[in-house]
Amino acid sequence: MVAPCLRHQVGRHHQKALWCCVATSTAQERTGRIGGRWTPWLFVAPSLAIVVAVTIFPTLYSLYLSFFRWEPTLADKPFIGFGNYQELFSTGRFVNALAVTALITIVGVALELAVGFWFADFVLADRRGQRLVVALMLLPVMVMPVVVGYTWRLLWDAAYGPINQILGWILLRPVEYTWLGQTSTALLAIIVTEVWQWTPFMFLILYAGMSTLDGEIYEAAEIDGAGTWQQFWRMTVPLMLPIVIVAVLIRAVDSIKMFDVIYTLTGGAPGTSTETASYYIYQVGYQFFRLGYGAAASIVLLLILSVLLTFLLRALRSRMA
Amino acid sequence: MFARRRPLWKRLLRWIIYAAVLAFFLFPIFWIFMTSIKSASEYMHSPPIWFPAAPDLSSFRRAVEVGGLDAMRNSIIVSSVSTLLALLVGSFAAYGLARYEVGGENLPFFFLSQRFLPPVVVIFPFLLMFKTLRWIDTYQALIVVYLTFNLPYTIWMMRSFFKEIPREIEESALVDGASAVGAFWHVALPLAVPGLIATGIFCFIFSWSEFFFGLTLTNIRATPLSVFLPGLFGKQMIMWGEVGALSVMAVVPLFVLSFLVQRFLVRGLTMGAVK
Amino acid sequence: MQFRTFRKYAALVLVGSFVLLAMTQCAPAAAPAPAAEQPAAAQTGPAATVEDSCTNAVEQAKQFAGSTINVVWESGLQPEDPKVFGPKFTELTGVNVTIVEIPYVDMYTKQLQDYVTGGGAYDVLTLAPIWLKDLVNAGALEPLNPYIDKYMNKADLDDYLDVYGSDGYARIGDTWYGLPDDGDVFVMYYRKDLFADPGNQEEFKAKFGYELAPPKTYQEFDDIGRFFTEKYSAEGIYGGAFQHLEGQAWDWFVGPFSGAGGQFFDTETMDATINSAAGVKVLSDMVKASEWMPPGVQKWGFTEVLSAWLDGKLAMIITWPPVGRWSEGIGKGTDQLSWVPETKVVGNVGYAPEPGGRSALAGGFALGVSPNSQNKDAAYLFAQWMNCPATSLERVMLPFALRDPFRKSHFASEEYKALWPTAGEYLQTLESAAMQGQLELGIPGGREYMVALDQAITAAYAGADPQAALDEAAGKFNAITDRLGRDTQKEAYSQWLQGQWAQPGPKQ
């Protein structure tokens, strides 16, 4: 097997390229390869090296940093144990940032899923013009998040933005509300902006998945007297569930990392009420140059993300199998 | 779903809903383009003006004058090189994973999990590491850093593309005396070109849109377009016209690229979960 | 995953990490010294007195012809000034000048980061007084005294208006770290026509019991603003506005707070006293004033206030000096100002100090030199040339520049006074407001404190209780103080308070 070889190698050589008793590996037998014993690992070695250098090592370094007070304007950089972590949870600002992140993620992804699902179903009901619709729905996903943020900031503007203008037409009286000026509506604005950009993502995935569904089972259900609603809930949803789970988890993980839109749309204001975790870390860790503290906060974020990630990977795994 | 004859009012309703949904999703894009061709008095106007009286391209001119093209060039360079590097190294690894099942079931998922790493986790170490290497504000810093996403993504995608290629072709090459690496390079890779293109375009899109690392690791020399844009928000000025022009410059290339890769779009977005 | 595979990966990871960790630890941790050689020190004659800083800067800079210096400047409209003068300098000396534009909120971080990471990207730095102590503590500013001694006519140092040449603005003690380059002070612009209108005067007197005149106290400011909004809002004209946008909202707190005698800290304990009765009153007043300001003012930045003002929609504004020049239509039609709306208030603008008792010396810029620069002399000479009396006068008169008069010679300039009929009044107001001005908090961490204050203010604008918001800010202040060292902060604060322009209290 592969594993015993590696254990042996690491102990002796401290190398990443490992020669292995490939002759006894089932993979080898399966593919009928003969190339050198080390060949399979040669393929993976450069990537593994890069990943370790660029991801694993910095993450561990971050962990290491998180136990220090590291600021350029201070003379020494002392070891402070869990001091940074204590500070993280003592002020409530970081916890608030996590809460904001969770809120935007949960509400945003739920809306994206609902709207995406509904629209995919809607489009598939009658296939005319579908290519055009798909092509157009692609565009929001392709817009740079920074551009999305600034564009929506202009749209939400109380005086210069068309949203108030359009609302005014609908309500038949002038609307001059400052959407980004109140926490509640600022969060709403952020969610709408995110939903705008990522619903097409959901739509495209679900559309692709649903278009492979066999029309015959629906015909059969129709004949049996099932209405559209029943068809949807009892047939479409269960069949699409694996894909939905993957899509939702991808979106959730990406949403938790959210930074660009907050930076451009609200800057965390009013006060600090619309800060997300990443934005808070950026402000305190980078803008104020508190590297140790920032590292600690990011480790906490990573831990939270890892939990979510485990579910995602399991779902992907079962889907891949 | 199967098509059926619908009463007129239902078809009308359908068109209305279509229009409404598409209007919602395309409106902001429309607004970006309009802002970029409005004159200054038109984009700072209350109530907002939707269509400029006469298209005014001076925002584009000013955007270029303040250095927009340089930023664009930086983005192109960094995105392209990082993508190519990821494709090269990544497909190499993907081949090993696909054909030799290196690392069993766990290594592929190990690679995949790296794609989800929050940038904030690694930025502080990167700052210190790059300071030592004197790589702050250089192309190579961004190229390497973009690999945090591009490489795992490429490995994952190309692995599934390689798995779709029938083994027989490579096996016959091996029987003819090719080495394992040779089989990869001369046989498998050419066959996987569609996959390379699709994956490459997604890597490019990610690198192009990336903001956080660009913001924190560059100053003046290697500033990408995504970071250049916020630079137009000064203490005493927001140059919305130039922002609009740069936004157009930022999204049009991606729009074009995405049309090219439509076929693989969903697969690319879901990393192969949906084919 | 199986434990075997886990162990395998863990081993790989650990091994690889240690290898790489070892590699990076070998390299020196401190900022590396510039690798290239410094150009040979400038040859000058014996230390004779320099007659004219401007010409001498040009003369001395010629020996550096062919080199390039990178100059940090605030992005937006500010760079229009060096974009005109940079090429002039190149023409005169052969030194290439590249302007690097950075958004204001990032300037401190980027310049500090460049220094700390040894990037060496910048030669000429732009510093604001509020960053001075922190930058100096980090070693990120080159002391300029040797260069001043060598190149400058010392009389020019005395030409700075007292406040701009004071300790803590661009110098600490006798060491100069920057050449003050911008006379930023808040003034109030008001519509003379609206104030002078007899109908308005009568109605106002009847309603409030005193004459309608430019407000001196915040209460008067509130009364007048409310009056104008009530009377004119149907026509789209409001009593006034000032910036509420997050990031800078705190600057409009500094003046009135000082005017009310408010202090940021208790001098004995160094506890934050931002949430004192004075602070809460000022913040409540600011929130109350927002009621009669135009809708959406909560997100108004400089551009929005300026546009509304030039459009004739506001009776009063509190903002920086450039607006005075633009109000008079100076330089309209130039390309750089194409975004500035056509001014409808020409000839109707009056000038007064900021209401509330003190005018905030909000912002302010000085030109410094980076210790990592490869061309320190050339960098310094460029700064000196831009800053010298003759060149700087040209610059502060520029229609599209955001640099404001800062030298005594500027304020006395007949040329300036001739720019528009009331220019003399304008200069006078700027000068007296500055001389009675209140400096922004000039102790280490100043910026961080102000960000916490800004957050409290924007929260209050959004409806939070001012006392609660300021209490939270005070908590943040104390955390910062503790982190930086309570004793060192206390010493820095009491030292700073000795400055004439740092002491709170009403002065106008």
- Tens digit of pLDDT for each residue in B97-141? 888 887 777 888 888 888 888 999 999 999 888 888 888 888 999
Secondary structure, 3-state, B58-126:
HHHHHHHHCCHHHHHHHHHHHHHHHHHHHHHHHHHHHHHHHHHCCCCCHHHHHHHHHCCCCHHHHHHHH
* C116 Cβ neighbours under 8 A, 6+ residues apart: A72, A289, B131, C31, C138, C140
- Cβ-defined contact of A313 to B243 (cutoff 8 Å): no
CB-based contact C439:C168 (threshold 8 Å): yes
Residue A172 φ/ψ region, left for φ over 0, alpha for ψ in the -120 to 50 degree band, beta for the rest: left
- Which residues of chain B neighbour C122 with C-beta distances below 8 Å? 219-220
pLDDT band at A26 (very low <50, low <70, confident <90, very high): very low
C326-365 pLDDT, tens digit each: 888 776 656 666 666 778 898 899 999 999 999 999 989 9
Count of CB atoms situated within 10 Å of the CB of B20: 10
Of A48, A180, A271, the CB nearest to C455: A271
- The residue ranges of DSSP E strands in chain B, in sequence order, are 233-234, 237-238
Q: What is the end-to-end Cα distance of chain A in Å, rounded? A: 22
pLDDT band at A5 (very low <50, low <70, confident <90, very high): very low
Degrees to nearest 5, angle at CA B107 with B105 and B108: 80
Res C476 pLDDT > 90: yes
pLDDT band at B213 (very low <50, low <70, confident <90, very high): very high
Pairs across A and B, CB distance < 8 A: 299
Portions of chain B given CATH number 1.10.3720.10: 65-269
Domains in chain A, please, with CATH? 1-39 (no CATH), 91-320 (1.10.3720.10)
CA distance C113 to chain A (A): 8
pLDDT band at C460 (very low <50, low <70, confident <90, very high): very high
Q: What is the pLDDT of residue A207?
A: 86
- Cβ-defined contact of C8 to A60 (cutoff 8 Å): no
CA A148 from chain center: how many Å?
17
> How many whole angstroms separate alpha carbon C213 and alpha carbon C232?
17
More confident residue, C205 or A238: C205
Using DSSP bridges, classify how beta strands C349-353 and C360-361 pair: parallel, antiparallel or unpaired: unpaired
Percent of chain C topping pLDDT 90: 65
Mean predicted confidence (pLDDT) in B225-242: 74
Mean predicted confidence (pLDDT) in A55-74: 87
- Cβ-defined contact of C74 to B235 (cutoff 8 Å): yes
Element (H, E) at A127: none
Q: For B6, phi and psi rounded to 5 degrees?
A: -120, 150
CA distance A131 to chain B (A): 10
- Cβ-defined contact of C16 to A269 (cutoff 8 Å): no
Neighbouring chains of B at 3+ CB pairs under 8 Å are A, C
CA distance C203 to chain A (A): 29
CA distance C131 to chain A (A): 12
CA distance B221 to chain C (A): 8
Closest CA in chain B for residue A309: B113
Q: What is the pLDDT of residue B177?
A: 81
CA A194 from chain center: how many Å?
12
* C444 Cβ neighbours under 8 A, 6+ residues apart: A73, C133, C134, C137, C484, C488, C489, C492
Most confident stretch, B177-181, B185-189, C38-42, C493-497: C493-497
- Which residues of chain C neighbour A265 with C-beta distances below 8 Å? none
Count of CB atoms situated within 10 Å of the CB of C175: 11
Res A216 pLDDT > 50: yes
- Cβ-defined contact of A3 to C5 (cutoff 8 Å): yes
pLDDT band at B6 (very low <50, low <70, confident <90, very high): low
A158-204 pLDDT, tens digit each: 888 899 999 989 998 888 888 988 889 999 999 999 999 999 989 98
A56 touches chain C (CB under 8 A): yes
- Cβ-defined contact of B221 to C29 (cutoff 8 Å): no
* A23 Cβ neighbours under 8 A, 6+ residues apart: A37
Of C109, C246, C462, the CB nearest to A182: C462
- Cβ-defined contact of C138 to A287 (cutoff 8 Å): no
- Which residues of chain C neighbour A180 with C-beta distances below 8 Å? 298-299
Looking at residue A81, the DSSP 8-state letter turns out to be: T
Of B118, B208, B273, the CB nearest to A298: B118
A77-86 pLDDT, tens digit each: 788 888 889 9
Amino acid (1-letter code) at residue A143: V
- Which residues of chain B neighbour C102 with C-beta distances below 8 Å? 231
CA distance C29 to chain B (A): 7
- Cβ-defined contact of C7 to A48 (cutoff 8 Å): no
Residue with tokens 């995949």: B112
Closest CA in chain A for residue B154: A47
Mean pLDDT of chain A: 81
ipTM confidence score: 0.86
Which among C348, C311, C328, C289 has a CA at the least distance from the CA of C237?
C311
Mean predicted confidence (pLDDT) in A127-156: 87
More confident residue, C222 or C76: C222
Element (H, E) at B256: helix B240-260
Of B39, B134, B236, the CB nearest to C76: B236
- Cβ-defined contact of C322 to B106 (cutoff 8 Å): no
- Cβ-defined contact of B243 to A150 (cutoff 8 Å): yes
CA distance C375 to chain A (A): 24
Mean predicted confidence (pLDDT) in C98-118: 83
Q: What is the pLDDT of residue B35?
A: 87
Options 1.10.3720.10, 3.40.50.150, 3.40.50.300, 3.30.450.40; CATH of B65-269: 1.10.3720.10
Mean predicted confidence (pLDDT) in A51-69: 91
Q: What is the pLDDT of residue C501?
A: 92
